[in-house]
Amino acid sequence: MNAIDPHTDIIRFVSTRGATPPTAIDDALIAGLAPDGGLYVPETIPTLDTRTVETRIGAGTLAESAAAVLAPYFAESRLREALPALCARAYDFDAPLRAMRSDGAHGDDASSRLLKNDLPDRFSSRESGACPDSLATNQAPTRSLRRRSHPWLRQQAVFQQPASGDFLLELFHGPTAAFKDYAARFLAEALGALRADDAPTTTILVATSGDTGAAVAGAFHRRPGFEVVILYPDGRVSPRQAHGLECWGDNVRTFRVDGTFDDCQRMAKTALADTDLRGARSLTSANSISLGRLLPQVAYYAHTAAAFRRAHGEALNLIVPTGNLGNAAAAFLAKRMGLPIGEIVLATNANDVLPRYFDGGDYAPEATKATLANAMDVGAPSNFERLRHWHRDDAALRGALRALSVDDATIRAVIADAPARHGIVACPHTACGLHALHRIRDAGDTRPWAVVATAHPAKFETIVEPLVGHAVPPPPALAECLARPAQGEALAASDAALRARLIVDD
């Protein structure tokens, strides 16, 4: 791959199934799913030039990094000139990389000082906008999550810690306290800017295993010209997740599906591929199958990796808790674009389709198992199709990634142990990543690793609080959601049932 000029080189988007002509970025964003049922991917993955990586990514705000990383994909977009401003609105909260305490060490070392927020004045929370809603056990939520990011905050761990160590990439500082907020807000800004004033209302159809639906609802809530239809598996999300899915009203409708997430995902894909239905109403997707979800997630990996490399001269390795593979696909795409990312390890729960495949078995989707890490309860990860498209064969894909799984008993043990061992409170999904880190360290690996913290533990209080022995208060924005009344509608797990509701409500 050669470095590209984001101002002259045009990148088109093709389907993973090969039956759709190359498509412009704006059309791919609006469509969500390719007409042949495949997922849109860039026809060519751009390699960012060294100067861009060294001077424009990870040196300022997350929003500035996002604009630089996404620019090559938007060279022919109507959003090209507005991209920096769009990113500034979408990425207005932090994605800090923090050092974790390692293996129960409790001395007054640099890591302990970071966790206690005992920092020099120039790193104080007053000046830096430091995130009080961190996983660090001694920090209590005191401020709103909706604020501008600040480079000092992201550099606390990166610039004050030795390169070899354990880090946490906190992606839960958005309005609904999960990593889905970054891409959902970018997608809402992009589709809003692309929408013509006289266009019909666009229906955003989203299947969720817990966090995506709330993030999309929050991003599109009361946005003119859009309505959101959420499908989630009844009884398979946490109580606070369910409330966060049903508390919006106005232009957001939420259906409790009598089935699994895979049922919800199938129903959404079938509706999006239904030409008659799409002729009757304007439909698009906000799941990670959407290009508008994949590309924005590249930004925080690029930003973090570039800042770490600038400080230490080496690549940061990533452990990504994964279910539908969207977040992991974004990390892989960032690495392919030339960002200094080392190894990428996927952490899954007992739905171990991916670990079995990466260990040499067949890729064999199966029925979803319910686990404590419910947002990762996926038996047929959609974005595997993208990963396969990017590799010449199974051997090449297996050489690019590895995957580790964990059962519920171990998730509980890791959550209970995390405050003493790492100085943090972990949600069940982050615990999957921590377990992978423990296995990597037990094998003698001394490289720097960052576990991706995908959600705030307060979203899973019924699991986390009994294990850590104290209350885990929700951050302010999540508390606002929980204070609203919630009401969802029951729906059978059938394509016909969803089609009927969409047509009747048209």
Per the CB < 8 A criterion, the answer to whether 212 and 187 are in contact is: no
d(CA 297, CA 178): 12
DSSP class of 233: E
Answer whether residue 494 is part of any domain: no
DSSP class of 102: -
Answer whether residue 445 is part of any domain: yes
* CATH number of the domain where residue 443 is located: 3.40.50.1100
Answer whether residue 294 is part of any domain: no
d(CA 326, CA 330): 6
d(CA 175, CA 171): 11
d(CA 330, CA 333): 5
Answer whether residue 33 is part of any domain: no
Residue numbers of the domain that contains 138: 97-177+314-470
Q: Write the burial class of residue 241 (CB in 10 Å: 0-12 exposed, 13-18 middle, 19+ buried).
A: buried
Give, for 258, the enclosing helix (H) or strand (E).
strand 252-258
Q: Write the burial class of residue 108 (CB in 10 Å: 0-12 exposed, 13-18 middle, 19+ buried).
A: exposed
Q: Structure pTM?
A: 0.86
Domain count, the chain: 1
- Lookup: tokens for 31: 């469509």
The residue assigned the tokens 């059962």 is 407
Q: Is 492 helix (H, G, I), strand (E, B) or coil?
A: strand
d(CA 178, CA 455): 4
Answer whether residue 309 is part of any domain: no
Answer whether residue 287 is part of any domain: no
pLDDT tens for the 506 residues of the chain, in order: 456 555 557 999 999 999 999 999 999 999 988 999 999 999 999 999 999 999 999 999 999 999 999 999 999 999 999 999 999 999 999 999 999 987 644 333 333 222 222 222 222 222 233 333 455 553 333 223 333 332 223 333 343 444 569 999 999 999 999 999 999 999 999 999 999 988 999 999 999 988 899 999 999 999 999 999 999 999 999 999 999 999 999 999 999 999 998 899 899 999 988 888 887 888 988 888 899 999 999 999 999 999 999 998 999 999 999 999 999 999 999 999 999 999 999 999 999 999 999 999 999 999 999 999 999 999 999 999 999 999 999 999 999 999 999 999 999 999 999 999 999 999 999 999 999 999 999 999 999 999 999 999 999 999 999 999 999 999 998 999 999 999 999 999 999 999 999 987 65
DSSP class of 376: G
Instruction: Put the strands of the sheet holding 316-321 in their side by side order.
Output: 97-99, 166-170, 449-453, 316-321, 341-348, 402-405
